[in-house]
Structure 1
Amino acid sequence: MILISVITVNFHQPNVSIELLKSINLHPAKANIEIILVDNGSKENNEAYFKDYCPELIYIRSEQNLGFAGGNNLGIRKAKGDYLFLINNDTEITNGLLDQLAQTLAENPHIGIISPKINYFDDKSMIQYAGFTPMNYYTCRNSCVGQFETDNKQYDDLVQPTGYIHGAAMMIRKEALDKAGPMAENFFLYYEETDWCDKIRKAGYQVWVNTNALIYHKESISVGKNSALKEFFMNRNRILFIRRNAKIHQRMFFYFYFMLFVAPRNIIKYLMTGTPHFIPVLFRAIWWNVTNKTNSAYLGFTLK
């Protein structure tokens, strides 16, 4: 029987992570599973606390905040599964989710990574993700299929290629991971899974979605829905993604597009929404890309 490694990263949200562990226990998989929790940036050892709710848990503590990619990569290095399911701690699974995704991978060896359909936790009838459209490398824009739509089952039974998986819930084949390598840790937060999909495709695998598997996402609990941290990394990593993955003519077009359209638009938005303190954050995000290489480990933002 196959083994699925379920990996989640906790960042100062033990109660949120406990709710995820409870949902995994509430909806057991038919496959063998191991559960790995990375306690990211933890000031103390919380192993006993988490194991009260999940005795078989594999607990990994990192005193340093390694970010989304770094935290997950720490769990990946410990995982023994044939398939690795990386799941945000601010999610709750539904019945059959793990088995459906694993079965799709087992039946389709060309699939490297796959995501389920994701609905919002606060309004379970509202879709967050049913796939992504392909990336426009000239503008670094694409669309999330179904987002904010009422779930009337209009996207049910979609088991097919998609532009990108969703970082909140993604199952990767171990063979694809070995060939493509782990997520790039210099993204730290946002765009790392998008970059990973491009690496997985270059390794010869496809990226799919299975909307018959469903998960609920509480979203933006870690950084907040409107924060300087999120604003910095969304802008910084949008540029970084293009630097790492676009062709030279696409990169040149994007740089002009970002400076002449995106940056002025964002500044106007900050002024109109009462967040003018985001303006220097935007310029720090741009400057980081001017002064750092695409594989630089330096974050360029004070993390608290």
Structure 2
Amino acid sequence: MKQTPKVAVVILNWNGSFFLEKFLPSVYNSTYQNIEFIIGDNASTDNSIEFVQTNYPSIRIIENSQNFGFAGGYNEVLKSVEADYYVLLNSDVEVTPNWIEPVIQYMEEHVEVAAAQPKIRAYHDKTLFEHAGAAGGYIDAYGYPFCRGRLFNEMETDKGQYNDNQEIFWATGAALFIKAQAWKEAQGFDADFFAHMEEIDLCWRLKRMGYRIAYVGASTVYHVGGGTLNTSNPKKTYLNFRNNLMMLQKNLPLSRVFWVIFSRLWLDFAALIKFLLERKPKDAWAVSRAHQYFFLNFFKNAKKRKSFSVKENKKGLYKNSIVWDFYMNKIRKFSELDGENFQ
């Protein structure tokens, strides 16, 4: 009889004692049998560590020497974790008792699936999908990520329309299930991302290695979102615009990389103007800073481009512009997109 795979649920924490106190009980009460709980701490200065040590002495704590961000932090912590599967879980996520079993079962049955995610619903309105992942991530021809159940900031109500299992382009870092071997093969996150889009970059690299990424609708978690950086934070704007360009440079084929990035720079400039018109000068400056970083580190990032001997899996790529469809064609739901335009 095959042994139940070992799962390590790893929560990366940085001054998140409030979220740990609120959501760690639901995680700790998960029903999966062969499981280890780990808190990876990014040099917190609050009482996070003391809280876990006092209330959950069986939970393993791995302390980083400094705040390496989401990407670098997980890279450091997972060097010391042995398991068949890693579950990278945000501290601001409430889970349901049976949230692990369906995803692991699906991944065990589909050996080509390297990473997967559950259904992500909003904690503050549990009828809605949540921004960070919803019912699985996709990407358009210009590198804009979107989800089933969420186009830009338009969230759909969950009426069971995405209760299926589906191959997707990227799985959310809010609750990322990944086979440990695949994590090691891909060499984890790109630490230069610090935070935001590092999971999309990782999933893209896995797809270029021939793996598949999946969404499993039988598992549900509830995500607060914006726990570390508020959605209106200019630093979040900077990281999103900067990391998106870095991701495109690293992963697009040479036949597309130059014209896509050229187009994105102009689209980003339009976003900068929009921020100015909305009287958000700090966000506009964040876009400018993102472009400055991209050009100053162009050759450093170019060295990260890798070629793989297998055929890239493009499932989940949307061949049109989601920006055009959303703003010009007034499409607000994933189901309204033309299925013929998906790879």
Which of the residues 27, 30, 52 maps onto 1:24? 27
Q: 1:57 to 1:295 in 2, by over 3 A?
A: farther
**Mapped pair 1:244 → 2:250:** yes
Counterpart contact for 1:270–1:278, Cα < 8 Å:
yes
What residue is the counterpart of 1:130 in the other structure? 135
1:230 and 2:236 matched: yes
Give the TM-score normalised by structure 1. Answer: 0.90
Indicate yes or no: 2:223 matched with 1:220: no
Structure 2 residues without counterparts, runs of 5 or longer: 305-343
CA contact (8 A) 1:21 1:54 kept: no
Count residues in correspondence. Answer: 292
Tell me which amino acid in the other structure corresponds to 1:273: E
Instruction: Please tell me whether the aligned partners of residues 22 and 53 of structure 1 are also in contact (alpha carbons under 8 angstroms).
Output: no
Partner of 2:261: 255
Q: Give the aligned partner of residue 17 of structure 2.
A: 14
Corresponding position of 2:307: none
Query: Can you list the C-alpha shifts for 1:142-197, whole angstroms capped at 9, x where unaligned?
Result: 421012111111111x1121111011111111222232221111111111101101
- From 81, 98, 106, give the equivalent of 1:104: 106
Offset at 1:36? Answer: 1.1
For 1:150, the equivalent position in structure 2 comes to 157
Q: Determine the C-alpha separation between the residues in 1 that align with 2:74 and 2:123.
A: 22
Which residue in the other structure is 2:182 paired with?
176
Could you tell me whether the CA contact under 8 Å between 2:273 and 2:284 is conserved in 1?
A: no
CA distance in 1, matches of 2:302, 2:249: 10
1:301 aligns with none
Distance 1:81 1:64 in 2: 25
1:278 to 274, 278, 283: 283
Q: How far did residue 62 of structure 1 move?
A: 2.2
User: Given that residues 94 and 221 in structure 2 are in contact (C-alpha distance below 8 angstroms), is that contact kept between their aligned partners in structure 1?
Assistant: yes
Q: Which amino acid aligns with 1:124?
A: K
Cα deviation for residue 200 of structure 1 reads 1.5
CA distance in 2, matches of 1:275, 1:36: 39
Q: Distance in 1 between matches of 2:145 and 2:48?
A: 39
1:75-119 deviation per Cα after TM superposition (whole angstroms, max 9, x unaligned): 211211111100111111112111111111112111101100100
The code of the aligned residue for 1:91 comes to V
Change (3 A) 1:23 1:295: farther
Instruction: Give yes or no for the alignment of 1:266 onto 2:296.
Output: no
Report the Cα distance in structure 1 between the residues aligned to 2:302 and 2:89, rounded to whole angstroms: 25
Contact 1:40 1:63 in 2 (8 A): yes
- Whether 1:56 and 2:49 are equivalent positions in the alignment is no
Task: Tell me, yes or no, if the aligned pair for 1:8 and 1:89 is still in contact at 8 Å.
Answer: yes
State the partner residue of 1:300.
Answer: none
| CA distance 1:63–1:174, change in 2 (3 Å) | closer
Structure 1 residues 46, 168: CA separation in 2 closer, same or farther (over 3 Å shift)?
closer
Partner residue of 2:210?
Answer: 204
The answer as to whether partners of 1:97 and 1:213 remain within 8 angstroms in 2 is: yes
Given that 1:43 and 1:63 are in contact with CA atoms closer than 8 Å, whether structure 2 keeps it comes out as: no
> Secondary structure of the residue that 1:59 maps to in structure 2?
strand
**What corresponds to 1:91 in structure 2?**
93
Consecutive unaligned residues of structure 1, counting only runs of 5 or more, are 298-304
Tell me the TM-score normalized by structure 2.
Answer: 0.80
Q: 2 CA distance for matches of 1:62 and 1:225?
A: 26
Aligned AA (1:220): G
Partner AA of 2:32 in structure 1: K
| Alignment match, 1:2 | 5
Give CA deviations for 1:242-290 in whole Å, capped at 9, x if unaligned: 1100122322112321232321x22222123221122222111101111
Q: Distance in 2 between matches of 1:288 and 1:52?
A: 43
Does 1:163 find its partner at 2:166? Answer: no
